[in-house]
Structure 1
Amino acid sequence: MMKRFLEQAREYVNKAWQYFKGQSISRRILIGGCLFFGVLFLSTFLFVGLVWVGAFGSLPSKAELRLVENPLATEVYSADSVLLGKYFIQERSNIRYEDVPQHLVQALIATEDVRFFQHGGVDTKSLARVLVKSILLQRESSGGGSTITQQLAKNLYPRRDYWLLSLPINKIREIIIARRLERVYDKESLLSLYLNTIPFGDNTFGIETASQRFFSVPTKRLTLDQAAVLVGMLKATYTYNPRLFPERSKMRRDVVLAQLQKYEMISEGRRDSLQALPIKLNYRRTTHHEGLAPYFRDYIREDLMTWCKANTNAEGKPYNLYTDGLKIYTTIDSRLQRYAEEAVRQQMTVIQKSFQSHWGKRDPWHARHDVLEDAIHRTARYRDLKSQGLQEAEITRLMSKKYLMSVFTWEGEKEMMMSPIDSIKHYLTFLNAGVLAIEPSAGEIKAWVGGINHNYFQFDHVRTTTRRQVGSTFKPIVYAAALEQGADPCDYISAEKTVYTNAEGWTPTNTGEDNYDLKYSLAGGLAYSVNTVSVKVLERAGIQNTVNLAHKMGISATMPTVPSLALGVADVSMTEIVTAYSCFANNGKVITPFYITSINSRHGETLESFQPEKPKQALSPETANLMLHMMKRVIDEGTGARLRSQYGIEGDVAGKTGTTQDNADGWFIAILPNLVVGSWVGADDPRIHFRSTALGQGANTALPIVGRMLRKAQHDSQGEYKAQYFPALNASLRSRLSCDLYKSDSNFFQRLFGKRDRDEEKRKAFGEADKKKKKGFLRKIF
């Protein structure tokens, strides 16, 4: 049967050929032309049909187009609804059509698609030019034939590679999608979608992000000349980037203004006046690190990634933190966070100058070559070269080559010719800092500063995994353990030196060398941070009892069961120590730090809400209240006195300073009725430090950060941290605190002929600003 069909077909072809040969030349040309265009039409129709049915990849349906959403950055908000920052791959923000100025719309239409409001997605006049230039001549440029709707289709559904047929297939796909878009959306919605998806270079997408990036203003405040600059970039985002090529950008801007005048959207005079203006950028580069609380946002990212993997969106796929436009609401107080960051910046600028002056021309790791060597070995560059099998000498040679690099300084970012080893030395000289503020009743984190600059120092000094020796800030836990074991705040303990045979003959010493003949009440030993007394209090409480209490109060770190635990030799994180101090302000109940309140969709729908965990009792309310009032004396009379004298902090404040061995770490924790704030200052490598306790102690390095922060918070008329007071103690507890902080342990003649007045010595030992005259002979007797 097939053989017969082929024979008949061959017979018809022969007859047609014979007929064609019998015609005149003019008729042959006519018949040939008709056949050619007929075949071309049928093949084009077939080709378009194949694209339409999805032979080269499926096309979005109208239903899918109604749900179209562009990749959108996830936004992180404070408790007072201030945008803290974003997580994104492409920086993008959406904007409503109502917020787009009319002159921006006119500039866009006049330049990109003047018949936008007349066509149905395809401009047939321009399409002819597209067919000739793009398809027949195989040129990359369509000669401006794509409408705004077609460009939107390309943005939403990027072009694919089809080898030699890439251009015609992609053009047909865009035409089909554009026609469908026009049937789904009105013109204003299409313009809004277009402006929210178009790329502007420098990894910015959408008009709102571009407006903020290049001019630091929202889209609705763009002037006409600024709008013309951005519209002009659409022709070639790199070529006409005003940051890189200001002259080219100005020429292109003037073309946009000329188009506006051509289509009578502006007058000739206004065109000339605008073209005479220079381009004035207010460029603002945005990274994940910019905005408030970058260390905090980096910390919660891990929790958010875990949540995204465990939850699915409307399409049944796990949420994408970087493209799904989630809105994360946190417990951060934006004003307090800003005050904390400003306080760190101000104090660390001062303390860094002091540190550099202290060491002069010598490196802070003077005579400790292992410090620099260890820092070099920790770098990714060194590890990469080592993995290549290079020897130390070759690695050192390569890491000694100088390059132009941007480096951090407190005077601003600077471009310098430095080698990688020079860079390591540069950053080793910097002291760092950490600040954490927690609301003590529910555990809400109100401020989190993990370091001095997240772009250059990404190691976070607040998170639980970062632990340093806490020094004397551990002493309140020791004293609390003693109270829990039956001690009384007015029990007096001698400050004399003691040799501890169970610690290899270790003998603790005090800051003031001649206060060993005094007896301190527990309240006094804590107020003046007397080391010899604190170790004896630890013995009285029991080392294991103290460790157990510390764990109950929220410290999960392993602690050495040795007498020096009383002086804070344990490595504890900022989060743990601030959590522990929150117990004192919360009637002895321990909280779990709480920082995310809800996760919302891009449309504002609440996907999940979170509540703080219920506090658990860690120590008795009586002990917590006694400790709170004992620690008030640290601020009113002891080592934390400059919080009031220098920074003028009002209301009730309890707290404790801390300084570790060799002044490697300076600490200060403050407790207010509704806030607990901790601060730490030190070098990332503890082998780098001040040589002088007067300079390196927590009262000098860390306390000023809290002082500056609280002073701003108390002066904030809209804030909630003005002077407040702890609940008054009942009569029974008040009587337990009714005693002097210390008394003499010497005889009458030692007191009479002592070399130095005790009160004055205490003021000198603990940094009191006012010096009083020495008492006379009769005053000593009486």
Structure 2
Amino acid sequence: MAKKQAAKKESNTQDFSKYIRWFWMTFSFGILSVILIFLLASWGALGEMPDHTLLENPRTNLASEVISSDNKTLSKFYFEDNRTPIGFDELPKNLVDALVATEDIRFYEHSGIDARGFLRAIFAKLTLRDKGGASTITQQLARQLFVGIASKNTIERLTQKVKEWVIATRLERQYTKEEIIAMYFNIYDFGNNADGIRSAARIYFGKEPKDLDLKESAMLVGMFKNSSLYNPRPHRNPVGTKNRRNVVLAQMAKYEYITETVKDSLQKTELNLNYSPESHREGLATYFRANLAEFMKDWINDNPKPDGEKYNLYNDGLKIYTTIDYRMQKYAEEAVAQHMPKLQAEFDNQNTPKRNPTAPFLELDQKEIKSLMNVGMRRSERWRHMKNDLGKSEKEIIASFDKPVQMEIFAWKDGKYTEIDTVMKPMDSMRYYKSFLRPAMMSMDPQTGHVKAWVGGMNYKHFKYDMVKQGKRQVGSTFKPFVYATAIDQLQISPCDSLPRTPITIEANKFGNPEPWTTRNTGGNYKGYQTLKAALANSTNTITARLMNEIGPQPVVEMAKKLGVEQEILPVPAIALGTPDISVYEMVAAYSTFANKGVYNKPVLVTRIEDKNGTVLYQFKPESRDVLSEEVAYVTVNLMEGVVQSGSGARLRDNWRKNQGFTKEMLTGYPWELTNPIAGKTGTTQNNSDGWFMGMVPNLVTGVWVGCEDRAAHFRDTKYGQGASTALPIWALYMKACYEDKSLNVSKAEFEKPSDLSINTDCSKASNNDVSGDDNVDEDFGIDF
């Protein structure tokens, strides 16, 4: 019996030992299998793994950043990822604390994998008390950088998790904890084109990350759970986003980053978004950015990378430093937005169907209007798209313009821009848009050539054609200073010299003119004599024509070319009254030459370009040339000062009282009370189609144009259509804002007089007879044969 018990005991011991051996064998096999799986993953057997080089430089699309001269981000160029990375030192402490408290409280203790968190998550799943995953911040970063979206297939999902763990440990060895946090914030897509924390802070709150307050930081960290679900925009999920933000605040209080009192207080607050979308069609300086894109396209074609590959404007994270001043650009756009709706209201009032059956066109019959609209149809983006992209026939395209479609149209409402959803025929929408007055404005430092503000229209989304550089319109009397400067240069005449107002006829064949050319003065005043200073101030056509008769058109054309006018100008006497079509861009550069003592500077848009690592790829080289002597330039400026002292620009002064008959809307922001020295020139072209004002102070030259797309759409009355009414108020509002901003240092000083000035500019001793009739302000209307 004893032997049987001993044998049984020995058998049980052997069985137990066998189980022990199987346990350890299984355990060891499991451990070895796990190690093998991790080794296989690290060797790339489970799929491609990032090597050392890729870990150092993860492949992420980086938006190219456009930076203003005062070091603010104007915009970004990007296709899919609007991402601009920042360093850990640019993240506020409350943002980092919110992330750690919510996503990975033991972040600073583990090496990429949180074992405690992992075991807790496994236990929670086994007990059906799932409280979420246990992925560390580093694992989440690894997933976003290299692994991608989790597969629905269980095996593939487990493989992805293994790769994620391996990469997380490698990231921990490669980077500091601070660098990992910065990368995590930079890589995340916060929705609404907010890729990375910098874009998110700017788009949702209109500020840089370092300026985020506690509740703003908590909202953005809350979005890490699911930015599509927790989208704070009003028509998306602001309530859910607020609740998620409050969870983050609760986590911060739980781990004592904030007090319970602070948590309770902030949880009661609203999100207080300052939603500022960043797209190519919205934001500041849209027209400038479109021109900049063309500049960059040419630069990229001419400047490949060292390996021969071309830079990618939308993915390579270039930094483009521009001359645009963020503050001045803002003031320029605000000036346009303040004046244009009021001007448009008056224009619409004069072009009701009852008052003008052919609105918005004047002087055209129905046949001419139909021809004009057909030309516009063939030039439209709709025509190009249907013909080139869709391969439609001409008959089909024409028919489509008469079929009503759903569209968003531009409108001014209560003095502000808005969009209206409507159903309209494309042909009708074309006519609708032709009824809008359009502005253009450029501001430039004459000493450096740096362009400080650029407004090519009032809304880039709906009016894409840039009227600063692309558009060229008849310049009217703003061309007259070119004639005066040429005459001063050739004849050494003085602003105080007088000429008769009487009509003058330039004979046929003189200067190659095929027919006799006789000028007239708008006010019909031909009596007495007038000083050159008063003649330019009052835009007296006959005196300008007399100067042209003395010097001839060819020298004036050559002067315009030296001043930067690029297109061909026919050398005929009529150019004296401003018949050439010239862009705002060229006119501002030309006038800047006068302010810069006769030295022309080509306008500068970009000062330098850097790659994502800060290596300088481009540094601008100024292009300048001597055009006029300092004396001639100063005398020309002195002449133009008379325009603001007593001529068509006098309404800039606080003592201007000739505003009877003008509506309040036509004098936006008046009185402007600009008392400092200003030189300038107004311009109004034939039938009031174009209104101009060119204004200068010693360190800033600004040009403004206002007109419709077609010259046949215009004001009937010169009182409303002249440059002094359409363009000058925009200049005044802009300069007033610039002067109120003391940080800009826009000059209020006098223009510097040359030490060796030999031409008399003091006209105070001119006799009354010499300035007879100066009370009448004339504006030329372009060609006047």
Quick check: TM above 0.5? yes
Q: Is the 8 A contact 1:343 1:709 kept in 2?
A: yes
> Structure 2: how far apart are the matches of 1:736 and 1:282?
55
Among candidates 665, 679, 683, match of residue 690 of structure 2: 665
The answer to which of 291-300 and 269-278 deviates more is 269-278
Question: How much does 1:682 deviate?
Answer: 0.9
Among candidates 207, 230, 241, match of residue 220 of structure 2: 230
Question: How much does 1:143 deviate?
Answer: 5.4
Instruction: State the AA in 1 paired with 2:439.
Output: A
Partner of 2:681, secondary structure, is strand
Q: State the Cα deviation string for residues 626-680 of structure 1 (Å, max 9, x = none).
A: 3222222222222322233353333332222111112111112123222222111
Report the equivalent of 1:8.
Answer: none
Partner of 1:484, secondary structure, is helix
Among candidates 175, 180, 184, match of residue 190 of structure 1: 180
Among candidates 162, 167, 172, match of residue 162 of structure 2: 172
**Pairing 1:724–2:729 present:** no
> Structure 2: how far apart are the matches of 1:30 and 1:370?
98
Instruction: State the AA in 2 paired with 1:152.
Output: L
> Structure 2: how far apart are the matches of 1:80 and 1:276?
37
The answer to which of 367-376 and 538-547 deviates more is 367-376
Report the equivalent of 1:382.
Answer: 383
Partner of 1:453, secondary structure, is coil
| Change in CA separation of 1:627 and 1:261 when aligned onto 2, cut-off 3 Å | closer
Instruction: State the AA in 2 paired with 1:286.
Output: E
Question: How much does 1:692 deviate?
Answer: 1.5
Instruction: State the AA in 2 paired with 1:574.
Output: V
Among candidates 403, 406, 416, match of residue 406 of structure 2: 403
| Change in CA separation of 1:227 and 1:626 when aligned onto 2, cut-off 3 Å | closer
> Structure 2: how far apart are the matches of 1:617 and 1:99?
46
Tell me how many residue pairs correspond in the alignment: 723
| Change in CA separation of 1:113 and 1:314 when aligned onto 2, cut-off 3 Å | farther
Report the equivalent of 1:636.
Answer: 645
Question: How much does 1:290 deviate?
Answer: 4.7
Report the equivalent of 1:441.
Answer: 447
| Change in CA separation of 1:260 and 1:740 when aligned onto 2, cut-off 3 Å | closer
Q: State the Cα deviation string for residues 4-45 of structure 1 (Å, max 9, x = none).
A: xxxxxxxxxxxxxxxxxxxxx999999999999999887776
**Pairing 1:578–2:588 present:** yes
Among candidates 439, 455, 464, match of residue 458 of structure 1: 464
> Structure 1: how far apart are the matches of 2:345 and 2:403?
27
Instruction: State the AA in 2 paired with 1:382.
Output: W
> Structure 2: how far apart are the matches of 1:332 and 1:176?
47
Q: Is the 8 A contact 1:88 1:322 kept in 2?
A: yes
Report the equivalent of 1:92.
Answer: 83
> Structure 1: how far apart are the matches of 2:587 and 2:506?
29
Question: How much does 1:695 deviate?
Answer: 1.2
- Structure 2: gaps spanning 5 or more residues: 1-14, 657-670, 780-785
Among candidates 524, 537, 544, match of residue 547 of structure 2: 537
| Change in CA separation of 1:247 and 1:69 when aligned onto 2, cut-off 3 Å | same
TM-score between the two structures when normalised by the length of structure 2: 0.80
Partner of 2:744, secondary structure, is coil
**Pairing 1:558–2:568 present:** yes
| Change in CA separation of 1:398 and 1:299 when aligned onto 2, cut-off 3 Å | closer
Report the equivalent of 1:146.
Answer: 135
The answer to which of 624-633 and 282-291 deviates more is 282-291
| Change in CA separation of 1:505 and 1:264 when aligned onto 2, cut-off 3 Å | closer
| Change in CA separation of 1:709 and 1:262 when aligned onto 2, cut-off 3 Å | closer
Question: How much does 1:558 deviate?
Answer: 0.5
Q: Is the 8 A contact 2:538 2:776 kept in 1?
A: no
Partner of 2:74, secondary structure, is strand
> Structure 1: how far apart are the matches of 2:349 and 2:135?
65
Report the equivalent of 2:144.
Answer: 155
Among candidates 705, 715, 720, match of residue 680 of structure 1: 705
Instruction: State the AA in 2 paired with 1:449.
Output: V
> Structure 1: how far apart are the matches of 2:268 and 2:758?
82
Q: Is the 8 A contact 1:232 1:252 kept in 2?
A: yes
| Change in CA separation of 1:173 and 1:313 when aligned onto 2, cut-off 3 Å | farther
Q: After TM superposition, list the pairs within 5 Å mapping 1:182-331 onto structure 2.
A: 182-220=172-210, 222=212, 224-243=214-233, 244-257=236-249, 259=251, 275=267, 277-308=269-300, 318-331=310-323
The answer to which of 616-625 and 496-505 deviates more is 496-505
Q: Is the 8 A contact 2:638 2:761 kept in 1?
A: no
Report the equivalent of 2:9.
Answer: none
| Change in CA separation of 1:104 and 1:300 when aligned onto 2, cut-off 3 Å | closer
Partner of 1:118, secondary structure, is coil
- Structure 1: gaps spanning 5 or more residues: 1-24, 745-757, 768-782
| Change in CA separation of 1:292 and 1:388 when aligned onto 2, cut-off 3 Å | closer
| Change in CA separation of 1:60 and 1:676 when aligned onto 2, cut-off 3 Å | same
The answer to which of 655-664 and 98-107 deviates more is 98-107
> Structure 2: how far apart are the matches of 1:689 and 1:318?
47
Instruction: State the AA in 2 paired with 1:365.
Output: F
> Structure 1: how far apart are the matches of 2:25 and 2:699?
89
Q: After TM superposition, list the pairs within 5 Å mapping 1:414-433 onto structure 2.
A: 414-419=419-424, 421=426, 422-433=428-439
Report the equivalent of 2:667.
Answer: none
> Structure 2: how far apart are the matches of 1:492 and 1:192?
73
**Pairing 1:595–2:585 present:** no
| Change in CA separation of 1:560 and 1:695 when aligned onto 2, cut-off 3 Å | same
> Structure 1: how far apart are the matches of 2:208 and 2:221?
15
Q: Is the 8 A contact 1:469 1:568 kept in 2?
A: yes
Partner of 1:76, secondary structure, is strand
